[in-house]
Amino acid sequence: MDVEHHPVLIVGGSLVGLSTAVFLADRGIRPLLVERHADTSRYARAWGVNPRTMELYRSVGLEEAIRRAQRRLDGAARRSGILRAESLAGEEHGWFDAPYVHGVYEDSGAVSPTGWAPCPQDRLEPVLRARAGALGADLRFGTVLTGFDQDAGGVTATVEDRSTGVRRRVRAEYLVGCDGNTSAVRARLGVGTSGVGTMVHNVAILFAADLTPVLRGRAFMHCQVMNEEVTGVLGTDGERWQLDALYWPANGERFEDFTEQRCVALVRAAVGVPDLPVEILGRLPWELGARVADTFAVGRVFLAGDSAHVHPPTGGFGANTGVQDAHNLAWKLAATLTGAAGPGLLASYDAERRSVGSFTVDQAVARSLQRFRNPAVADIEAVPIVDDLTVMMGYRYHSGAVVAEPDDPGPPATVGDDYENPGKPTGRPGTRAAHVPVEHGDREVSLLDLLGRQFTLLHADDGQDWRTAADRAATALGVAVAVLGVGVDLLDPAGAWPAAYGVHGAGAVLVRPDGFIGWRGADPGRVGDALRRILDRPEV
């Protein structure tokens, strides 16, 4: 068998695999991606892209395309919450969460140049697929990974074209397992998982029906229905409907039992109209659960997305956390593959993302327990709920790719204790670079929009010493470092940046290529050492 060579093999072409392909290809690394299915999924699944994830897509020029693809929520749906009812036609038990749903759409403007995009996965994934392909990623749908081994120099894998049965051998320097909750990559690595585990089993029933009469003008994000025949959640993208109905394997129920006839009966029970004309478009089993892989990296193989962490949908964190994994990993892979970084940079992926994954799973579980009575997990003690924006973008990394300040106490005993409210950013190393509205040339932009794919040194005053230090470090290490002087290259009319970045007087921050602060200090003589430590390059 001939061997194909690729820098990175991505297994799984759903949301996280495609995002990994986009973020890598955007940095000039053209991966091979294999996806078992012939096309992207028809099921909506995650319904929204959160503001932090939108910042990442915006940084690769995808914001407009996602806005074009997103759902057109009319005013009523934007302001409405989650309806709880016996059935759509039946008795209402109340409206739940209206302020929460209102908040997630309206409240990120002060902390981000972008905001929520109500773009479900079935609309988002084609956008990502098109961009990854346009950037030169080799995307093979209808192709399955059948096995792999790794050695010190790379990964050797076998992939099979499902339509022809032709097998090919692939040699890649790195493999990223974006193959979902039941990840075969994770199993092959022998990596276990920890956490609550399975909470409930669902069957997602995609259907077409005219529900206008029973809606009676009401609009909602979701409708939770509960009656003697069905417990589940109804939602629509404006064209098709989806019922996620609970079932209980412990009571002998199996996915195979959800025949078309039974699905029609469940939809009618959920809608509350016994003779409703219904067309079933598809059925998909899925498990609502909570688990985190015991490590996100073994040698040259990495786990990202649901293969690394599975969240209950409450909070809408799961898919978004996966995309943020992809972004964290992509710049590190690119820096390593181009020789800019030593091996320690990739080691920071597990250190940074596993703690975030674990914290976010706990937050999703806490929200799930708050909103749904679930006898299967009645004995679980929920963690205190942290506000959504802090979960999405207030996390802080501790790793070898962050240079801690001398008085930094290090990682707290409880993950999350040093996360910060994005509305009150501190600029501490390990936190996300904050959004500050600035003037650049004749444009008003976000400071985030001026951070490119490279390291950026942000300083105050005239900063000639900073410029010299950055140039010297960049030349010595052979990496690009942009230098932006606040008051020189850009203006901060509201005077917000000193507090947002914790830089007063003549200090500076070094922002990593993923938009996280890698170092902060007042001595230009330390810039070269900081860059070297972040990139795990040897001292010269």
Ligand X SMILES: Cc1cc2nc3c(=O)[nH]c(=O)nc-3n(C[C@H](O)[C@H](O)[C@H](O)COP(=O)(O)OP(=O)(O)OC[C@H]3O[C@@H](n4cnc5c(N)ncnc54)[C@H](O)[C@@H]3O)c2cc1C
Q: Site for ligand X (CB under 6 A): which residue of 82, 144, 172, 203? A: 144
Give the nearest distance from C-beta 188 to ligand X in angstroms.
10
Helix, coil or strand: residue 180 = coil
Tokens of 173: 């320097």
Give the nearest distance from C-beta 85 to ligand X in angstroms.
20
Q: Site for ligand X (CB under 6 A): which residue of 318, 422, 427, 521? A: 318
Give the nearest distance from C-beta 44 to ligand X in angstroms.
7
Q: Which among 39-47, 52-60, 259-267, 337-345 is the span making contact with ligand X, rule CB under 6 A?
A: 39-47
Q: Is 29 in the site for ligand X (CB under 6 A)?
A: no
Q: Which among 11-19, 73-81, 327-335, 427-435 is the span making contact with ligand X, rule CB under 6 A?
A: 11-19
Q: How many helices (DSSP H) and strands (DSSP E) are in the chain?
A: 15, 22
Q: Site for ligand X (CB under 6 A): which residue of 25, 46, 88, 206? A: 46
Q: Which of residues 175-194 bind ligand X (CB under 6 A)?
A: 178-181, 184
Residue 415: Cβ within 10 Å count: 18
Q: Is 516 in the site for ligand X (CB under 6 A)?
A: no
Q: Site for ligand X (CB under 6 A): which residue of 26, 35, 388, 418? A: 35
Nearer to ligand X, 244 or 536 (CB): 244
298, 312, 304: which is closest to 347 by C-alpha?
A: 298
Q: Site for ligand X (CB under 6 A): which residue of 55, 122, 244, 514? A: 244
Q: Site for ligand X (CB under 6 A): which residue of 7, 12, 232, 518? A: 12
Q: Which of residues 375-404 bind ligand X (CB under 6 A)?
A: none
Q: Is 286 in the site for ligand X (CB under 6 A)?
A: yes
DSSP 445-495: EEGGGG--SSEEEEEESS-HHHHHHHHHHHHHHT--EEEEEETTTBB-TT-
Q: Site for ligand X (CB under 6 A): which residue of 37, 168, 171, 371? A: 37
Crossing angle of helices 318-337 and 343-371, rounded to 10°: 180
Q: Which among 10-18, 334-342, 379-387, 517-525 is the span making contact with ligand X, rule CB under 6 A?
A: 10-18
Residue 506: Cβ within 10 Å count: 15
Q: Is 313 in the site for ligand X (CB under 6 A)?
A: yes
Q: Site for ligand X (CB under 6 A): which residue of 174, 241, 296, 317? A: 317
Q: Please give the angle made by the CA atoms of 204, 208 and 214, to the nearest 5 degrees.
A: 100
Q: Is 201 in the site for ligand X (CB under 6 A)?
A: no
Per the CB < 8 A criterion, the answer to whether 201 and 285 are in contact is yes
Give the nearest distance from C-beta 196 to ligand X in angstroms.
16
Q: How far apart are CA 419 and CA 359, in angstroms?
A: 10
Q: Is 322 in the site for ligand X (CB under 6 A)?
A: yes
Q: How far apart are CA 410 and CA 348, in angstroms?
A: 15
Q: Which among 42-50, 74-82, 205-213, 480-488 is the span making contact with ligand X, rule CB under 6 A?
A: 42-50
Tokens of 126: 């084609």
Q: Which among 41-49, 355-363, 387-395, 485-493 is the span making contact with ligand X, rule CB under 6 A?
A: 41-49
Nearer to ligand X, 15 or 470 (CB): 15
Return all residues near 253 (Cβ < 8 A) that are at least 6 apart: 201, 247
Residue positions counted in the chain: 540
Q: Site for ligand X (CB under 6 A): which residue of 82, 88, 137, 145? A: 145
Q: Is 324 in the site for ligand X (CB under 6 A)?
A: no
> Residue type at 508?
A
Q: How far apart are CA 51 and CA 317, in angstroms?
A: 11
Half-sphere exposure of 439 (CA within 13 A, CB side): 9
Nearer to ligand X, 143 or 446 (CB): 143
Give the nearest distance from C-beta 332 to ligand X in angstroms.
18
Q: Distance between the two ends of the chain, CA-based, in angstroms?
A: 44
Q: Site for ligand X (CB under 6 A): which residue of 6, 7, 9, 17? A: 17
Return all residues near 24 (Cβ < 8 A) that are at least 6 apart: 8, 30, 31, 137, 330, 333, 334
Q: Is 45 in the site for ligand X (CB under 6 A)?
A: yes
Per the CB < 8 A criterion, the answer to whether 131 and 60 are in contact is yes
Q: How far apart are CA 306 and CA 417, in angstroms?
A: 25
Residue 524: Cβ within 10 Å count: 22
Give the nearest distance from C-beta 294 to ligand X in angstroms.
17
Q: Which among 168-176, 317-325, 332-340, 525-533 is the span making contact with ligand X, rule CB under 6 A?
A: 317-325
Q: How far apart are CA 70 and CA 124, in angstroms?
A: 8
Q: Residues touching ligand X: how many (CB under 6 A)?
A: 35
Nearer to ligand X, 121 or 348 (CB): 121
With CB atoms as reference, the residue minimizing the distance to ligand X is: 305
388, 386, 408: which is closest to 397 by C-alpha?
A: 408
- Beta strand ranges found along 22-75 (DSSP E): 32-35
Q: Which among 31-39, 247-255, 463-471, 488-496 is the span making contact with ligand X, rule CB under 6 A?
A: 31-39
Q: Is 160 in the site for ligand X (CB under 6 A)?
A: no
Q: Is 113 in the site for ligand X (CB under 6 A)?
A: no
Q: Is 15 in the site for ligand X (CB under 6 A)?
A: yes
Q: Can you give the binding site for ligand X, defined by CB under 6 A?
A: 11-17, 34-37, 43, 45-47, 121, 144-145, 178-181, 184, 204, 244, 286, 305-306, 313, 316-320, 322
